[in-house]
Amino acid sequence: MDENHRGKIKKAPAPEVVKYLINPAIKTDLERSYQTILDINKAHVLMLAEEGIISTDVAKKILECTQEISAMEGHPTFEINPNVEDLYFNLEKYLLEQTGAEIGGQQHTARSRNDLFATEARMDIRGFYLRLCGMFNELRQNLINLGKANIDAVMSGYTHLQPSEPITFGHYCAGVLNALERDYERIQNAWKALNICPLGGGSMGSTTFMINRDRTSALLGFDEPMQNSIDCTASRDYCLEIIGTMSVASCTLSRFAYDLYMWSTPEYGYVEVDDSVAGCSSIMPQKKNALTLECCKGKAAHMEAFFVSVFSSLKNIPFTHCRDSSTEAMRFVWTALQEFEADLALLNVTIKTLTLKKERMLQAAVQNYCTVTELANYLVRHDGISFRSAHG
């Protein structure tokens, strides 16, 4: 594979294609998918050898060269030429140069870039997804700790932003935690659709070689192979599910951040964010702005937008492999995951350093008539009148 011979294609990519499609893809693949591609190559070659499709000697030479490329850790010492088309072809080009076309050329037996890239995307997302699950549970634990530490912090609850009934701050935290538990269950359920292996689907029609898909699936950490070769390369629904569930969670987080944001104002004075997560005005020295809470509120809107973008890229396209699904739809998947990561990280540090003003909370609850509902209840129990009369 070289820039002058890409199968039927005889011309090098246009400068515009290189600038807007190839170079950005190579850059992100070097940063995110370098080792993933090589891991897939290793699993595939090992399986080919085990099934007798290629010889052990050929597999050994390919794997030795792959290990050499792997040791470069995303900074290959050989040229990455955009005219070759993508990172995979550049890696393969080096393999062919080192081992010869008749040896290295056997690596791609019974495989397409379509099922390779589909597998790569799932593996890269899987790593990010698992890290986000850990951060999400860290947030839940931090909120548990905050609630437990403040079960004696009496405050007024609110409906319509008006004082309603007395609660404790621990009670409030428990309410948010219940919502976050449902959010996490939705996120957790997305694992089933994510961790299935498309390798072996080929371009979309599988292969006539007797490959062992269970073996490559297991080697790469998947639960099982996908059952239909067209589905292997066509499907990105798992991305919608992951972003969708994280968008729902970000809505919960935004509402939580909004409460803390209001309660941090001097007019409420219930909580104070730490100096390390606050900002000052350039002109008003008395200001202490809750920067992280403002950003966390806004990030829910971005998560919704990323979901809509991915959804819109996937609808009304053919149910097979195409760049709409493999490239354009995936573009904001990564951005969404990064945005959710920032949301969790900012809330985690804010919660861990939050200060409660318990006396101020109690004082407000004493003065804002939030106990008057219980006064009506008392009249019902002790004076025998109807609740409506007591309410009046």
pLDDT digits (tens, 9 = 90+) for 298-317: 999 999 999 999 999 999 99
- The token duo for 74 is 């995303």
Same domain, 134 and 180: yes
Residue 136 pLDDT more than 80? yes
Residue 2 pLDDT more than 70? no
Mean pLDDT across 216-225: 98
Q: Could you tell me if residue 360 is inside a domain?
A: yes
Indicate the number of domains in the chain.
2
CB neighbours (10 Å) of residue 9?
11
Same domain, 126 and 244: yes
Of all residues in the chain, the percent with pLDDT exceeding 90 is 85
pLDDT at 371: 84
Q: Could you tell me if residue 387 is inside a domain?
A: no
Mean pLDDT across 351-368: 94
Q: Map tokens 């050329």 to a residue.
A: 105
Same domain, 91 and 127: no
Closest CA to 213 of 51, 88, 52: 51
Same domain, 80 and 96: yes
Mean pLDDT across 330-339: 95
pLDDT at 6: 66
pLDDT at 3: 53
Residue 282 pLDDT more than 80? no
Residue 87 pLDDT more than 90? yes
Q: Could you tell me if residue 61 is inside a domain?
A: yes
Same domain, 92 and 135: no
Q: Could you tell me if residue 23 is inside a domain?
A: yes
Domain stop point among 92, 109, 126? 109
**What is the pLDDT confidence band of residue 5, given thresholds at 50, 70 and 90?**
low
Q: Could you tell me if residue 389 is inside a domain?
A: no
Same domain, 324 and 178: yes
Long-range Cβ contact pairs of 5-12 (< 8 A, separation 24 or more): 6/85, 12/83
Residue 33 pLDDT more than 90? yes
Q: Could you tell me if residue 377 is inside a domain?
A: no
CA distance 110 to 203: 10
Residue 281 pLDDT more than 80? no
Same domain, 124 and 103: no
Q: Could you tell me if residue 222 is inside a domain?
A: no
Same domain, 175 and 248: yes
**What is the pLDDT confidence band of residue 129, given thresholds at 50, 70 and 90?**
very high
Mean pLDDT across 4-12: 73
Same domain, 100 and 118: no
Which residue range(s) make up the domain with 52?
A: 15-109
Domain stop point among 45, 76, 109? 109
- DSSP code per residue over 124-177: HHHHHHHHHHHHHHHHHHHHHHHHHTTTT-EEEEEETTEEEEEEEHHHHHHHHH
Q: Map tokens 């029609």 to a residue.
A: 205
CA dist 197 → 46, 113, 120, 180, 355 (Å):
16, 14, 10, 29, 47
Same domain, 159 and 197: yes
- The token duo for 268 is 């409420």
pLDDT at 392: 87
Mean pLDDT across 350-359: 96
Specify the CATH number for the domain of residue 178: 1.20.200.10
pLDDT at 372: 86
Specify the CATH number for the domain of residue 33: 1.10.275.10
CA distance 264 to 270: 6
Same domain, 342 and 201: yes
Domain stop point among 69, 94, 109? 109
Residue 98 pLDDT more than 60? yes
**What is the pLDDT confidence band of residue 283, given thresholds at 50, 70 and 90?**
confident
Same domain, 183 and 276: yes
The DSSP call for residue 200 is T
Q: Could you tell me if residue 5 is inside a domain?
A: no
